[in-house]
Amino acid sequence: MELTSTKIKSLNSLKGIVKSLKKEEKTIVLTNGAFDLLHYGHIVYLKKAKGLGDVLIVAINSDFSVKKLKGEKRPIMNEKERSLLVASLNVVDYVVVFEEETVRNILKELKPHFHVKGPDYTVETVAESKFSDSLGIKTIIVGEKKEHSTTDIIKKIEGLYG
């Protein structure tokens, strides 16, 4: 059985969607990450991100970019699986996969109102924050203190079954 989701879009199709949403005066929120092994921390963070606006777009790192950022053993799940899992969440309106190590190009193309990152960042440590500022996009940190991570889950599994 081949699973799909109408929430998963190309960057080009999202540009048109976002343009229409802005005409309707909707507030657009963008967040990004690997979302490898979806966990409780992701859910809390995504719910809080959605609470900042009308439309939540989640940009998911491609398998290629996850390997570059997190090492050869990652991702655990491929980009299609990760995209489908995130798209299945009610708080998520759209998902887009990106190849680069940062979301600068997506920020430039979509110009959301907010770029949201989780609690393992500060505004100063978000790689794109100065770039976002130059485009008039506000960088916001949301979520609970970082107590959940894919890396920690992997270590726990290795400890139990390794």
- What whole-number distance in Å separates Cα of residue 95 and Cα of residue 69? 20
Q: Do residues 8 and 83 touch, judged by C-beta distance below 8 A?
A: yes
22 is catalytic: no
70 is catalytic: no
List the catalytic residue out of 15, 68, 108, 138: 68
Specify the amino acid at residue 89.
L
Is the peptide bond prior to 112 cis by the omega test (within 30 degrees of 0)?
no
- What whole-number distance in Å separates Cα of residue 4 and Cα of residue 95? 12
- What whole-number distance in Å separates Cα of residue 60 and Cα of residue 143? 18
- What whole-number distance in Å separates Cα of residue 120 and Cα of residue 147? 9
CA distances to 59, 62, 63, 94, 102 from 70, in Å: 17, 12, 10, 24, 13
Residue positions annotated with a catalytic role: 68, 73
